[in-house]
Amino acid sequence: MNVIITGASSGIGRALAAKFALEGHRVMAVARREARLEALAEEMAAQGAEVIPYALDITTSRAPAELLDEAVRVFGRVHVLVNNAGMSPYQRFTELSAVHVRQAIELNVRALTELCHAFAPHMLAHGERSHVVNVGSVGGYTPLPNFSVYTGTKHYVRAFTDLLRYELGGTNITVSGLHPGGTVTEFQAGAGQRVTPFAQRTMLKPAQVATRAYPAILKGRRVIIVGFVDKLAVLVGRVLPFPWAIRVMELVYRMNVEKVDPRYGE
């Protein structure tokens, strides 16, 4: 299969790109940091796998069409789209800069939606078995303190993914939502979180997420939640009323996360 993965320069996106490539798929890794993409491509080439780096800011208005054109030029047909890119500082709503509010919505919501809108007709037209994977978060189920915009965008991703799956039911496209929880990536530093050593021991590594998610993606699972702690977090949001759920999550964060300055560039 020919695979497109956004946010592939680090974390879960990079791990998914490596996993798909090592399983024999052709992968186009998309992100803004070109040097990191090229390093990934070289690492995979040394292991006999193919990753094609493509540096692109997917939040620009032309990005979805540009990425589709490049993917068709390189692959001819695209079979898997993984919308993995996402961001948000760990701050109260009134502490967020206007730039960060806009970036979170454009990356987590608009870019993901427009990429689905660009690639779905292409997949329908070629008629071969295809997959769209939208990476959400346990925050799509459970309220996360100091993540009001992020959690809101991930609720959107969850609802949009379920409805897109329903609308494309009976076609050659299967739509899945991958909803990770705490994972040891650059996300925490970028968001402005200092996680305790104890909490880090409960978090999955990106390669673990990719290894567990890969077969579920190919099986076309509607919801993919791979970690035990992640499933507990989702259970909190599903079972408890909001006033209780947010208090539980505030306690968890207070015990395990220190708020520091976010590192996202503006």
Per-residue pLDDT tens for 60-81?
999 999 999 999 999 999 999 9
Structural domain span for residue 57: 2-259
- 266 assigned to some structural domain: no
pTM given for the model: 0.92
**28-53 pLDDT, tens per residue?**
999 999 999 999 999 999 999 999 99
Q: Give the helix/strand (H/E) hosting 207.
A: helix 206-219
Task: State CA 177 to chain mean position distance.
Answer: 9
Per the domain annotation, does 7 fall within a domain? yes
User: 118-172, pLDDT tens digit by residue?
Assistant: 999 999 999 999 999 999 999 999 999 989 999 999 999 999 999 999 999 999 9
Residue-level pLDDT at 183: 81
pLDDT at residue number 19 = 98
**pLDDT given for residue 264 in this prediction:** 56
Lowest pLDDT segment from 13-22, 134-143, 190-199, 205-214 = 190-199
Q: What is the mean pLDDT of residues 99-104?
A: 93
pLDDT of residue 186: 63
pLDDT at 265 over 60: no
Q: Indicate if 253 belongs to the active site.
A: no
Q: What is the mean pLDDT of the chain?
A: 92
CATH at residue 16: 3.40.50.720
Instruction: Bin 50: left if φ > 0, else alpha if -120 < ψ < 50, else beta.
Output: beta
Q: Could you write out the DSSP letters of every residue in 68-102?
A: HHHHHHHHSS--EEEE------SS-GGGS-HHHHH
Do β-strands 193-195 and 26-31 pair in parallel, antiparallel, or remain unpaired? unpaired
Tell me how far apart the alpha carbons of residues 121 and 119 are, in angstroms, rounded to a whole number. Answer: 6
pLDDT for the residue numbered 90: 82
Report the C-alpha gap between 178 and 129 in whole angstroms.
19
Evaluate if residue 242 carries a pLDDT over 90. yes
The pLDDT score that the predictor gives to residue 266 is 42
Residue 264 lies in a domain: no
Mean local confidence (pLDDT), 253-258? 81
- 65, with CB counted inside 10 A (0-12, 13-18, 19+), is exposed
Q: Is the pLDDT of residue 27 over 70?
A: yes
Q: Is residue 133 situated within a structural domain? A: yes
**Per-residue pLDDT at 189:** 65
Number of independent structural domains in the chain: 1
Ramachandran assignment for 48, one of left (phi > 0), alpha (psi -120 to 50 degrees), beta (any other): left
Say if 27 falls within a structural domain. Answer: yes
Residue 265 lies in a domain: no
Residues in CB range of 258: below 8 A, 6 or more apart? 193, 194, 195, 196
Catalytic residue (one of 90, 141, 150, 214) = 150
Q: Please answer whether residues 249 and 181 qualify as being in contact, where contact means their C-beta atoms are separated by less than 8 angstroms.
A: no
Tell me, what's the pLDDT at 221? 96
| Mean pLDDT for the stretch of residues 93-107 | 93
